[in-house]
Amino acid sequence: MNGNNTFDTSGAPDRDLPMLTAAQAARLRALTAPYAQVGHSYPLHNLAQKCRQAPEERWPEVVADHFSALQAGSQGGESATELLRGVHARLLPTDSLTPDIAGAMRYARVVAEGLVFAYALDLPTSVRMLTDPDVERAGIEELGQAAYANLMRVPVEHEEVPIQGGALLHSVYGDSPFVASKALFLSEVARQVTGEPLPDAGALVVVPTRHLLAYHPIVDGSVVDAVNGLAAYALGAHEDGPGELSPRVYWWHRGGLTSLTVIDHDTRSFSLQPPPELLALMKGLVRLDRAGRIDTPTAAKAPDVAALTHTTAEAMARLAEDPSALGDAFASALTLSHAHCATDPEAAHVDTWDAWATAVQLGSALFTGAQAQECRLGEDRVRQLPATPAAPPADARAWLDAFYVAVVCRQKHRADRLCEVPLEVLRQDDSVDAYVLHWIDTLRTYWAERSMDDVVGKLITTMETSQPASLTHTPKDFADLIDYQPVALFHRLVTRDHDAFAEALAEALAHHGTYWGDSAAPRARVALGPLAMAGLAYDHGFPVALKQPYLPTYLLNGERIEEMPGC
């Protein structure tokens, strides 16, 4: 994301009209001077782009045709009704506004680095930017409403463009010079072309020319590939034209645009530098996506248990030579354990238990170390987990997974040891929101049987920090529908309210189903956090119903639990 790219610097580009050389720009200004003298001032960017596409000997003709079309269009003085009928919201490059033009359009405002918002009147043969008297005549509020409505009626084409790495771009294009201006209202555009609004995290978007915008909804770890893909896409389209607007990559979020592109005008180079809030979100999405915690297009295929078993076995075989691969081996075993529940939803089969037991062994070894021990992967397939020193990684969500599976499998001594992992280590994980760490602190405090006042205080902090306004790393729907549900269940557990726990459990399972829908992802098969809380409640005498979706019966009631080697 921080790699530099350099514009073509051949021919000493003009500073204000970089699509032309300095000499070409000087000639163009000379050709347009007579037209400016008649009392009208026009931006030259669009004309310069036209000239760039034409042989220089035809420039006088191109200039004449351009100004002829402008002069044949509006000369101003339209009625308020006429203005409202034809006005459109319009994005302009900031460097297209000369001091004279900017002085006549004081209502215009910069909406993002490199982009100015203004109003334009769409006429049969030309487009005229509205001036301050025009705006005053029509009324600023009425003009804004009409400009939005007219812009959203502009017809567009839409296609999906896959790029390397698995990211998908949505390309929106058309003949109208107002197409790219729709980026101001990107969520509505997304709803029009795909039927779905943008996610809470927004989207990456580029507006390289007036006729084109492309965007990528921020939903999973593919956002990293999308940043680089959009940057290349925007630069190429911007240089090709016509109607250049901006080569930058922007983040559309909550109705605003933020530039990710930093341009060094002296060296004609650019770099991508996401703002801290977006960088944190991207990092969190990558970690969630990599562990299969969020729903992605790749989760459409049903899990292949045989292939996952082989992957887990191979990951374990590498541990003797590469102990650092233990995190990947744990993630693979956890995926396998969930995948078994697709065909064995009650966890009645021994192969399913073996997968869950292996996940417990690898999870505890990852954070607390372990002695050499055997791990079973079903069908008499045994792999050796070598002696592992305690070297807990700064991975808060992996710790939660390890703790949950230890609780589900009634491995109290392993859960005890997990709770001895220094919280300071987990706090070094900068890919999670604060509520995740507060939730871990709550669980550790409860498991250590400290005062209930301490537990409740930490639980309240967890709840407060999980509010949407506090989220910077986690998608809102994942935080609400998945992450928060064990917290809500724990609240009812510690208050020993049986009825409220049953209601909260039903709600948690419904939310799990809502989030995953018909996804075939292994994580969709089991509500891991609620399963851990329900297992605790069952062992504490709560009347937990045993036949519930996403809760394997023989893990919930402990009847499938067997001894596992190691400690």
Q: What is the pLDDT of residue 72?
A: 57
Q: What are phi and psi of 516, to 5 degrees?
A: -85, -25
**Residues 294-331: pLDDT tens digits?**
987 665 567 789 999 999 999 999 998 999 999 999 99
In 3D space, the residue among 534, 505, 528, 504 whose CA is nearest the CA of residue 516 turns out to be 528
CB 224 within 8 A of CB 278: no
Q: What is the pLDDT of residue 41?
A: 53
Cα separations in angstroms, 179 against 186, 213, 243, 307, 479:
11, 7, 11, 46, 35
Exposed/middle/buried for residue 439 (C-beta within 10 Å: 0-12, 13-18, 19+)? buried
**Run of H or E including 209:** strand 203-209
Q: What is the mean pLDDT of the chain?
A: 90
**Residues 91-137: pLDDT tens digits?**
999 988 877 778 889 999 999 999 999 999 998 777 888 999 999 99
CB 295 within 8 A of CB 521: yes
Q: What is the pLDDT of residue 315?
A: 92
**Residues 22-67: pLDDT tens digits?**
899 889 988 988 876 544 556 777 788 788 888 999 999 988 888 7
Q: What is the pLDDT of residue 298?
A: 60
Question: Which tokens hold the place of 363?
Answer: 């999870």
Q: What is the pLDDT of residue 99?
A: 79
- pTM for the whole thing? 0.81
Residue type, 428: Q
Q: What is the pLDDT of residue 3?
A: 42
The span from the first CA to the last CA of the chain, in angstroms, equals: 43
In 3D space, the residue among 555, 507, 547, 503 whose CA is nearest the CA of residue 528 turns out to be 555
Three-class DSSP category at 250: strand
pLDDT exceeds 50 at position 4 = no
* Mean pLDDT for the stretch of residues 452-460: 96
Question: Which tokens hold the place of 90?
Answer: 């319009």
**Residues 286-295: pLDDT tens digits?**
999 988 999 8
* Local confidence band at 8 (pLDDT 50, 70, 90 cut-offs): very low
Residue 518 half-sphere exposure toward CB, CA atoms < 13 A: 0
Q: What are phi and psi of 212, to 5 degrees?
A: -150, 135
**Residues 507-531: pLDDT tens digits?**
999 999 999 999 999 999 999 999 9
**Residues 221-278: pLDDT tens digits?**
999 999 999 999 998 898 887 788 999 999 999 999 999 999 876 776 789 999 999 9
Question: Which tokens hold the place of 348?
Answer: 């009645």
CB 173 within 8 A of CB 138: no
